[in-house]
Amino acid sequence: MANQSDLRAGDVQDQAQEHDPVVVDAAVSLMPINGEARPISDWVTVFHLVMVVLDPYTHESSWILNTSGRVLRNFAGADCRVAYLVTGTPGEAKSFLGPWAEEILTFADEDRYVVKALGLQSLPAIVHLDHQLNLRTQAQGWNPKEWRNFANQLSRAMSWHTPLIPAAEDPSPFNGTPALG
């Protein structure tokens, strides 16, 4: 067993990045704003699922709206399903997202059950679920470096091009707000 002084700086960093993988319960329901609720497992049978999770009652989520739309739009043609998950009713999601709700698949999570199942601590967030409902990667809050790392990992997994993050019109970095309200 190595003592603390035997660890290299890289070892400490690698250990800090290790965490228990999140696997979402297949029975958790996703409610599209224009349809019937279905188990989340139904949404990943053919494609992975990439969602930007927003709270319509916070400034922070509104600040990232156009940035997140640009990122989701970039991956819309890849082998993944892109979507918004809004912590409100279907009507609140439509109102908050405006035209984005027409362009991008949108789910409502009024009671934040999906947010809890994903293990999120901070919103806005972006998450990538695979066919087995493993949370492959995520970024919480708006840290351009973390979102760029997320996009790079997703691009490699999907064999797709990576969007520019940050772009000139993107907001300055900020911490998110509590995911559970």
Beta-carbon neighbour count of residue 74 at 10 Å?
19
19 band by pLDDT with thresholds 50, 70 and 90 = low
Other beta carbons less than 10 A from residue 88's beta carbon: 19
What distance in Å separates the CA atoms of residue 42 and residue 64, rounded to the nearest whole number? 28
In a domain, 87, yes or no: yes
The pLDDT, as a whole number, for residue 6 is 40
For the ranges 1-10, 69-78, 87-96, the lowest mean pLDDT is seen at 1-10
Q: Does 96 fall in a domain?
A: yes
Q: Name the band, by pLDDT with cuts 50, 70 and 90, for residue 166.
A: very high
Q: Which residue has the higher pLDDT, 169 or 12?
A: 169
pLDDT above 70: residue 72: yes
Residue 67 placed within a domain: yes
Q: Is the pLDDT of residue 2 over 60?
A: no
The answer to whether 54 and 64 have CB atoms below 8 angstroms apart is yes
* pLDDT reported for residue 181: 85
| Beta-bridge partners for 126 | 52, 139
DSSP structural state of residue 42? G
Distance CA 127, CA 51 (A): 5
Structural domain total, the chain? 1
Q: What is the percent of the chain with per-residue pLDDT over 70, rounded to a whole number? A: 90
The answer to whether the CB of 88 falls within 8 A of the CB of 108 is: yes
pTM: 0.89
* Residue 134: inside a domain: yes
What count of other Cβ atoms lies within 10 Å of the Cβ of residue 54? 29
- CATH classification at residue 39: 3.40.30.10
Domain residues for 70?
21-172
In the predicted structure, residue 14 carries a pLDDT above the cut 60: no
Beta-bridge partners for 85: 53, 107
Q: Provide the pLDDT for residue 15.
A: 31
45: confidence class by pLDDT, cuts 50, 70, 90: very high
